[in-house]
Amino acid sequence: MKPHKPLCHWVCFFWLCCGFARVFAQVQREDEDGGGWRSSADPTLDDGGRCNIPVLDNISYKDFMERFAFSGPVILRGLTDNTKFRRLCSKKNLLREYGDRTVRLSTANTHSYRKVDVSFREYVENFLRPQAHDALGNDTLYFFGDNNQTEWQHLFSEYSPPPFTLPHTTRATSFGVAGAGTGVPFHWHGPGFSEVIYGRKRWFLFPPDKQPHFHPNMSSLSWVTHSYSSLTLEEAPLECTIRPGEVLYFPDRWWHATLNLDTSVFISTFLG
């Protein structure tokens, strides 16, 4: 005897819903676990909640151009939805899709002279660890930028960059994964956006005419530990910690340094 068709439809619908529920639950677990990326429990990496950079939701392009494009940093929220891209950047997925691909690591000092090529899997398994407090910049290998645009194109094509741009500029994308306590010491270049996908990234910024005092081979962690606390109010930087889904914009030639408070996955859009 053939089963009643409406009953079959309800059974199929039930199992389909169960499948969606399992997928949703898995994605939710991955997000709660930071995408499977190891987080830091080091209390010295706490930012203390300090933030003196404007944080704005759904700002218009007109307001962005008038208030921030050429004058100062801003943290933007609600401009794009990168939920799918975040899911693709889970540790499990990146190792499955890109584990055997070669990535180029740079030393995390101001001038970044040394480059080392390893597989992405080797980087994750052997290099992606919390930064030692006494480590120098040229002893720290950091995966950010130098992305093979052909090999990583499928991933990058799923990223929705901030919709704002500046006149007469083009976009260049740089992707990275870095351990807790790592970061890039003070340097400057053209304007750009930086978005955190997993983890937390603390930023320190100075305007072009206010060069910070730092040693080019001192890590960001060392600078925060030994120099930051002694700064006067007039010497203090603009700073804030950006979290998943938040985008920081910095104008042209602004000095900036970063400190990853957790194992972080992040992507920047440079305007050249």
Ranking 52-61, 139-148, 167-176 by mean pLDDT, the lowest is 139-148
Which CA distances in Å does 144 have to 86, 112, 161, 209, 266? 17, 11, 17, 27, 9
Average pLDDT of the residues in 157-164: 96
Q: Provide the residue range defining the domain that includes 237.
A: 15-271
57 occurs within a structural domain: yes
Phi, psi values for residue 29, rounded to 5° = -65, -40
Angle in degrees, CA 249, 254, 256, rounded to 5: 80
3 occurs within a structural domain: no
Give pLDDT tens digits for 139-157: 788 899 888 878 899 999 9
Give pLDDT tens digits for 205-243: 999 999 998 888 788 999 998 899 899 999 999 999 999
4 occurs within a structural domain: no
71 occurs within a structural domain: yes
Give the containing element (helix H, strand E) for 99: none
pLDDT band at 5 (very low <50, low <70, confident <90, very high): low
**The two three-digit tokens of residue 135, written as one number:** 């480590």
In the chain, % of residues over pLDDT 70: 86
10 occurs within a structural domain: no
For residue 31, pLDDT beyond 60: no
pLDDT band at 126 (very low <50, low <70, confident <90, very high): very high
Do residues 218 and 171 touch, judged by C-beta distance below 8 A? no
2 occurs within a structural domain: no
Query: Half-sphere exposure (CA, 13 Å, Cβ side) for 185?
Result: 28
Cα separation of 105 and 111, whole Å? 14
For residue 25, pLDDT beyond 50: no
Cα separation of 183 and 199, whole Å? 13
Instruction: Write down the pLDDT at residue 23.
Output: 39
Work out how many domains the chain is built from and give that number.
1
113 occurs within a structural domain: yes
Token pair 């109010």 is found at 233
